[in-house]
A = this chain, B = another copy of it.
């Protein structure tokens, strides 16, 4: 299924990645927010140059490629944020990038990925096997597949957000709420902040990581998955490498509904003056829903802000 690699992600790897990322990207802001009378924190990863935290894993992975690997290019599969993370890093390093994206990805994500110089190959979200599409490209070109979450570098790279948070807060958070698709960010944060409780937040009906943590083995989505507005959080399953890191360290987490996600986008608009895409607002939705205990050392990850104007307008005016 996934490109296998014997290397396991490590805290040392996260620290090494954090040094590389600090050299090229300023820390994203950690901003106070009051929820239900408790002042906690949001980490505004939507303010990254590509509008999402995925730039971290992309940079750590691509900078560790050998000259020979760089010459053969990279391939990624992504609904749009990992796509931009890999494309951004590839352009900066002069590496050719091919990104396999679903035909129904938000237009802003398709446009932005192409604007970063990547070649975009489209597939149909239900039906075509996107991993298969990517593998064929890799087989033909010798390119390296950069998986969106089942990759030790990507996990370590995403974890660097936790190193920044610890420096900004002056300690490890009590708890970190992380928007969760495959679990790359959650796994990276658990390595970066071993003293923090990690709470993965998934879309309702798409809580494959949560169910995998409870089952202690990978649970895949069944046939006819429910719809969700969180286009960034729809992998068909997590992966063993993520589960291995998170087992015995992470809560099974919580799931949030589309309505809860929209409320969180509205609050981010009106009280934080931040633009969040649905998937980027999932952790905030969990905090607002009362499903997670909050305290003054709780950090809520705001993971992305790439959303089409029409969709965002419908959410903030309540006419979706």
A5 to chain B, nearest CB (A): 33
The 8 Å CB contact of A269, one of B28, B30, B275, is: B275
| Contact flags A37-54 to B (C-beta < 8 A → 1, else 0) | 000000010110101000
Q: Is the CB of B317 within 8 A of A273?
A: no
- How far, in whole Å, are A109 and B270 apart by their CA atoms in the complex? 11
A56 to chain B, nearest CB (A): 16
- How far, in whole Å, are A232 and B97 apart by their CA atoms in the complex? 45
Main secondary structure on A side of the interface with B: mixed
Q: Is the CB of B305 within 8 A of A46?
A: no
- How far, in whole Å, are A275 and B273 apart by their CA atoms in the complex? 5
Q: Is the CB of A273 within 8 A of B309?
A: no
Residues of B within 8 A of A49 (CB): 32
- How far, in whole Å, are A305 and B272 apart by their CA atoms in the complex? 9
Residues of B within 8 A of A108 (CB): 270
| Contact flags A164-185 to B (C-beta < 8 A → 1, else 0) | 0000000000000000000000
Residues of B within 8 A of A274 (CB): 47, 273-275
A31 touches B (CB below 8 Å): yes
- How far, in whole Å, are A183 and B108 apart by their CA atoms in the complex? 37
A310 touches B (CB below 8 Å): yes
Q: Is the CB of B273 within 8 A of A51?
A: yes
For window 256-284 of A, CB contacts with B under 8 Å fall at: 266, 269-270, 272-276
The 8 Å CB contact of A312, one of B30, B44, B305, B316, is: B316
Hey, which bits of chain A sit against chain B, CB under 8 A? 26, 28-32, 44, 46-47, 49, 51, 108, 266, 269-270, 272-276, 305-306, 309-310, 312-314, 316-318
